[in-house]
Amino acid sequence: MFKNKKTTLILVVIVIIVIAVGAWLIIKNKDDKVSETTGSAATSGKGEEKSLSQTFYIYDTVVNIKVFGETVAQKNMDDIQHMLERMDMELSRTKEGGEVYAVNQAAGKEAVVVSDETLDVIKQSLQYAEEMDGLFDPTIGPLIDLWNIGSGGDKVPPQADIDKAKSLTNYKDVVIDETAKTVKLMKENMVLDLGGIGKGYAADRIADYLKEQGLDSAMINLGGSSIIALGKKPNGSDWNIGLQDPDQSRGTQLGTIKIADEVIDASGVYERYFMQDNVRYHHIIDPRTGYPSQNGLKSLTIMSPNATIADALSTGVFLMGKEDGMKYLESLPEEVEAFFITDDNKIYATAGIKERMNLTDPTYSFAE
Backbone angles phi, psi at 134, to 5 degrees: 85, 0
Whole-angstrom Cα distance, residue 270 to residue 280?
A: 9
Point out the least confidently predicted range of 77-91, 108-122, 159-173, 218-232. Answer: 218-232
What does the CA dihedral 290, 295, 297, 299 come to, rounded to 10 degrees? Answer: -20
Per DSSP, the chain holds a count of helices (H) and strands (E) of 9, 20
Q: How far is CA 142 from CA 58, 85, 114, 148, 199, in A?
A: 23, 25, 22, 10, 20
Predicted TM-score of the model (pTM):
0.85
Under 8 Å between Cβ of 141 and 166 = no
Residue 261: name the closest of 226, 213, 219 by CA: 219
Over pLDDT 90: what percentage of the chain?
75
For 85-122, the DSSP string reads HHHHHHH-SSSTT-HHHHHHHTTTT--EE--HHHHHHH
Whole-angstrom Cα distance, residue 226 to residue 27?
A: 38
Q: How far is CA 253 from CA 189, 239, 344, 354, 360, in A?
A: 41, 16, 17, 16, 8
132 CB-side CA count, 13 A: 31
Question: How many C-beta neighbours within 10 Å does residue 32 have?
Answer: 11
Supply the pLDDT for residue 18.
40
Whole-angstrom Cα distance, residue 132 to residue 320?
A: 9
Q: Residue 169's Cα: distance from chain center in Å?
A: 22
Residue 225: name the closest of 125, 302, 285 by CA: 302
**Residue 39 pLDDT grade (very low, low, confident, very high; cuts 50, 70, 90):** low
**Residue 27 pLDDT grade (very low, low, confident, very high; cuts 50, 70, 90):** very low
Over pLDDT 70: what percentage of the chain?
88
Residue 207: name the closest of 57, 333, 83 by CA: 83
In this predicted model, what pLDDT tens digit does every residue of 167-221 receive, in sequence order?
A: 999 999 999 999 999 999 999 999 999 999 999 999 999 999 999 999 999 999 9
In this predicted model, what pLDDT tens digit does every residue of 301-355 receive, in sequence order?
A: 999 999 999 999 999 999 999 999 999 999 998 889 999 999 999 999 998 888 8
Whole-angstrom Cα distance, residue 4 to residue 246?
A: 79
Determine the residue type at 122.
Answer: I
Q: How far is CA 154 from CA 312, 320, 342, in A?
A: 26, 25, 24
Q: How far is CA 115 from CA 84, 121, 182, 307, 335, in A?
A: 15, 10, 9, 21, 30
Supply the pLDDT for residue 1.
46
